[in-house]
Chain A
Amino acid sequence: MVINIIILIALVTAALWTAMTTRLLRSAVGLAITSAILSILIFRLASPIAAVFELSVCAGLIFAIFIISITVTQRVTPEAFETRKKERMTKFWPLPIIVIIAAVVLTQIHFQTTFNLPAQTTPNDVKIILWNLRHLDLLGQIVILLTGAFGVVILFKEWKNG
């Protein structure tokens, strides 16, 4: 239980750092760290395949996409950076206070439930569920992946031509 609490605190801290840090690159790194911590938590919640997906896709692929987009966009001047830093501070100072107040209020509630649920009717193997029971999900995933791939190709083609 103590390890889980440490992981949860690390998750919220990493998310807070991601939102609050001034530089975009640090924000992207923070997002990758949040994904990595979340994948540890998912692994501990008995879902190893989802954890591997989260780690490889969210902490790996999405991080790479963000790094590419940040390197392509223009770097701000030091003066503009200082101005933006001050603006960000004025905009984001309430966030840690809101998070701390919400955490204190929610931890005061003593939630108790017994999780009385009906007997399980489907098999508990992700491979059987994904391949045998949820064909439509897989079809949807393939369609979305193709849409995404074509969309990215068209957008980058326009970028290259421009």
Chain B
Amino acid sequence: MVNDMSQLFWMCSIAGFLVFIIGIYGLLVTFNLIRAIIGLELLTKSVTLFLILAGYVTGQTGLAQALAITLIVIEVVVIAIAVGIVLCVFRHNRTIDAQLLRNIKG
């Protein structure tokens, strides 16, 4: 039982790490602002998985769910605001490629 739990914890942790790596890579490599938001979203997926996994192995699923719900609410607001900002950037510059945005160049 303990061995099974330990194995499940490690397998889920590996998947969480891999999704985190994919999110970080997507965030760093792309210049498209919507793709950057998608990368950010993948990072939060990984964090959600780690939260729920921690709750499962410690037996405190209630607390983990409460924290995960808070995380999801914050995530959706961040995404909505970020998409709104991207649309405003598109309206002003007719592009969402960060390389082509010269108006905020220092």
Cβ contact within 8 Å between B91 and A159: yes
Which residues in B have their C-beta under 8 angstroms from that of A41?
Answer: 12, 49
Cβ contact within 8 Å between B15 and A11: yes
* Alpha-carbon distance A109/B19, docked complex (angstroms): 18
Chain B, interface SS category: helix
CB interface residues, B 16-71, toward A, < 8 Å:
17-19, 21-23, 25-26, 29-30, 32, 34-35, 37-39, 41-42, 45, 48-49, 52-53, 55-70
Cβ contact within 8 Å between A57 and B72: yes
Cβ contact within 8 Å between B60 and A141: no
Which residues in A have their C-beta under 8 angstroms from that of B88?
Answer: 155, 158-159
Cβ contact within 8 Å between B18 and A129: no
CB interface residues, A 1-49, toward B, < 8 Å:
1, 4-5, 8-9, 11-12, 15-16, 18-19, 24, 27-28, 31, 34-35, 38, 41-42, 45-47, 49
A26 to chain B, nearest CB (A): 11
Question: What number of residue pairs across chains A and B have CB atoms under 8 A from each other?
Answer: 222
Which residues in B have their C-beta under 8 angstroms from that of A134?
Answer: 66
Q: Which of B21, B56, B84, B86 contacts A99 (CB 8 A)?
A: B21
Cβ contact within 8 Å between B2 and A19: no
Number of contact residues on A: which range applies?
Answer: 35 or more
Q: Which of A65, A103, A114, A128 contacts B80 (CB 8 A)?
A: A65
A18 to chain B, nearest CB (A): 6
Which residues in A have their C-beta under 8 angstroms from that of B39?
Answer: 19
Which residues in B have their C-beta under 8 angstroms from that of A140?
Answer: 70
B73 within 8 A of A: yes
Cβ contact within 8 Å between B81 and A151: yes
Query: Which A residue sits closest to B29, measured CB to CB?
Result: A91
A89 to chain B, nearest CB (A): 12
Listed by A's residue number, 8 A-B pairs whose Cβ atoms lie within 8 Å are A12-B19, A53-B68, A54-B48, A65-B80, A65-B83, A66-B37, A70-B34, A111-B6
Chain A residues at the B interface, C-beta cutoff of 8 Å = 1, 4-5, 8-9, 11-12, 15-16, 18-19, 24, 27-28, 31, 34-35, 38, 41-42, 45-47, 49-50, 53-54, 57-58, 61-62, 65-66, 68-70, 72-74, 91-92, 95, 98-99, 102-103, 106-107, 109, 111-115, 117, 120, 122-126, 128-130, 134, 137, 140-141, 144-145, 147-148, 151-152, 155-156, 158-159, 162
Q: List 6 other contacts, CB 8 Å, given A47-B68, A111-B6, A162-B91.
A: A38-B49, A50-B52, A74-B94, A95-B25, A124-B61, A141-B70
